[in-house]
Amino acid sequence: MSDAVRKKPPRDLTSLMPSNGPKAEFYLHEKYKDQSDRNKSLALYYLLRPIIPRPLQIGLRRVYAKVQGRRHFPSWPIESVLVNQQKERLESLLLEAGTDRLPMVNYWPGTKRAAVVLTHDVETASGVSNISRVREVERRFGLVSSWNFVPERYRFDEAIFSSLRAEGCEIGVHGLYHDGKLFSSRKVFEERLPKINSYLRKWDAVGFRSPALHRVPDWLPEIEAEYDSSYPDTDPFEPQSGGCCSIFPFFLGRLVELPVTMPQDHTLFEILRAEGISTWREKASWLIQNHGMVLVIVHPDYMISSRNLGFYEQLLDFVAQQLEVWHSLPKDVATWWRKRAASKIVDHPNGRLSIEGPASEIGSIVWASIKEARIHYTMRSLDTRLSGAIA
């Protein structure tokens, strides 16, 4: 091993991401927002929504979106504050260690440079009836997805779970009623929590997503799931606007939080009336370039038209062409993230590095450095060997 690298013992950068401590929580838990204003706005919106015809709701949201889009933070569709903090932290550690690179457990299994996760929120009975058309598009690319159902909003035959699972898909719980009230008060949340947990057990589901991505970080860990996916990284266009600013999973207490990092289909094509997938393509490219997680929500309820379904097919074609990307279900990402967090790099006397812990089976060691003002990860080098199997 070179003198530069051996000047100080390698430091394990498994937690290189700024996802620990008060500086990170300021963004991850949205402490930059006025929480009282959030609660008032949500209460007013859901009080009026039932008496407003659906076409008028969409019209009003389109008008309001022009106001929402002028917010400076978090920026949309890309907010890089935590990516920038990650780079600054690495620069500091490199300086401290007196070297130009440091080892870490790769963010994703094997040599994968990013992750792609497809999820669907089934909001109505019409969404249930459209599942087969959406799955048909995914099958063309050999991709699987997660499907989140609302237990007590509409009737459906739960036999569909077996059909989806037989294809390698996952089932999750999407709130209870989808009425915007789950996090409206502590009383309502406690009344609904036992039923939500019972559906997780009944459906043998390990994932939860709150309707409309409503969230309270201190309450979410009480849901008996393995992971939650109720945070956008950035989204100014929802009634609960904001975002955690993270393009990686992080921990909310015992839960693994999987942020929704791609703009939602309803926002792009119904509210903003986009005529193509340029925003999707731009965001996915940036996420992959920064080794993050491309987590998509597509609603079968809004994939009724050939136009919208065609946009989704274009997105799948784009991500399917990306090299060294891990196409995975959210439950598998959450399992991997727990294993990675419980693992560390061991520096052996002979200069060999290895991974110690549950990530050793499929994890690999990469070398982190700064090149052209960006974090660069080298998968192999002359003076270290990768540990674990390469997926």
- Which residues lie across from 376 on neighbouring strands? 369
Q: Which of 295, 315, 298 is nearest to 248 (CA)?
A: 295
Q: How many domains does the chain have?
A: 1
Instruction: Tell me whether residue 267 is in a domain.
Output: yes
Instruction: Tell me whether residue 68 is in a domain.
Output: no
Instruction: Tell me whether residue 232 is in a domain.
Output: yes
Strand runs labelled E in 132-245? 146-149, 170-173, 207-208, 227-228
**Domain harbouring 261, CATH code:** 3.20.20.370
Confidence check: pLDDT of 359 > 90: yes
Instruction: Tell me whether residue 58 is in a domain.
Output: no
Range of the structural domain that residue 298 is part of: 114-332
Please indicate whether residue 369 or residue 41 has the higher confidence score (pLDDT): 369
241 φ, ψ to 5°? -80, 170
Alpha-carbon distance 248 to 19, whole Å? Answer: 9
Instruction: Tell me whether residue 205 is in a domain.
Output: yes
Q: What is the pLDDT of residue 2?
A: 42
Instruction: Tell me whether residue 346 is in a domain.
Output: no
**10 Å Cβ neighbour count for 329?**
19
Q: Report the predicted TM-score, pTM, of the whole model to 2 decimal places.
A: 0.90
Q: What is the pLDDT of residue 214?
A: 96
What's the pLDDT tens digit per position in 179-201?
999 999 999 999 999 999 999 99
What's the pLDDT tens digit per position in 150-175?
999 999 999 999 999 999 999 999 99
Confidence check: pLDDT of 389 > 80: no
Instruction: Tell me whether residue 245 is in a domain.
Output: yes
What's the pLDDT tens digit per position in 234-287?
999 988 899 999 999 999 999 999 999 999 999 999 889 999 999 999 999 999
Instruction: Tell me whether residue 62 is in a domain.
Output: no
